[in-house]
Amino acid sequence: MSFHREFSKILTRKAEEVATRKPWFQQVKPRSPLQEIWDDQIMPLYWKYWKVPHEKFSHRMMVNYLRGYGMMFDDTLNEKEPLMERAMEILPYDLRVHRYRRLMRANDLSMKKYHLPLSEQNYDPMIPYMAPYIEEAKFMLQEEQELFQFHPWDRRVYVDGTSGFGETSKETTFFAW
């Protein structure tokens, strides 16, 4: 009888230790001397002299390029991606027309090897005019995937004599996609 009592006390004590112990990903690990040198001396120099100046330079070059052709940054996003296709569907008509005209003007200027006059380059091309529509498209696609129980890893292209598009022959163009 006393063995079981002592054994239960030990189990209770171990269970309390496990319950109060932090999980492995929250435990603070001691840093090695090499890690301290890396974090305290090398990385600040990397950020100060390479990463931040490079990012600033890249940003300035992108802004100059977009202003030169009269484009916005969201005009450079690939409209053939599913998320952007959905965002373009819910984009209001006037914004869609503005985007199309900016792209056509940029294409025309690029072909002629011209840039916009400096008087017309006084705007901020980094204002994300499509951001709310992209977020809405994300929610719409997520909702559809949940409703249809769609999982990219569970895609079946050709099962039981039909493709996912309802085609019955293996030689269709849809099957090749």
Q: Is the pLDDT of residue 177 over 50?
A: no
Give the pLDDT of residue 34.
Answer: 95
Q: Distance between CA atoms of 176 and 81, rounded to whole angstroms? A: 18
pLDDT digits (tens, 9 = 90+) for 13-47: 988 888 888 888 888 889 999 999 999 999 999 99
- DSSP conformation letters of 72-115: -GGGGS-TTSHHHHHHHHHS-HHHHHHHHHHHHHHHHHHHHT--
How large is the C-alpha radius of gyration of the chain? 29
Instruction: Spell out the domains of the chain, with CATH numbers in brackets.
Output: 40-140 (1.10.1090.10)
Two structure tokens written together for 88: 């373009």
The structure's pTM equals 0.65
Taking the CB of residue 62, how many other CB atoms lie within 10 A of it?
14
Q: Is the pLDDT of residue 155 over 80?
A: no
Please name the residue that has the structure tokens 């006059």: 117
Give the pLDDT of residue 75.
Answer: 95
- Tell me the mean pLDDT in the region 78-100: 93
Contact 161, 168 (CB under 8 A): yes
Q: Is the pLDDT of residue 113 over 90?
A: yes
Give the pLDDT of residue 142.
Answer: 85
Contact 72, 129 (CB under 8 A): yes
Q: Is the pLDDT of residue 4 over 90?
A: no
pLDDT digits (tens, 9 = 90+) for 42-77: 999 999 999 999 999 999 999 999 999 999 999 999
- Tell me the mean pLDDT in the region 138-154: 76
Contact 75, 103 (CB under 8 A): yes
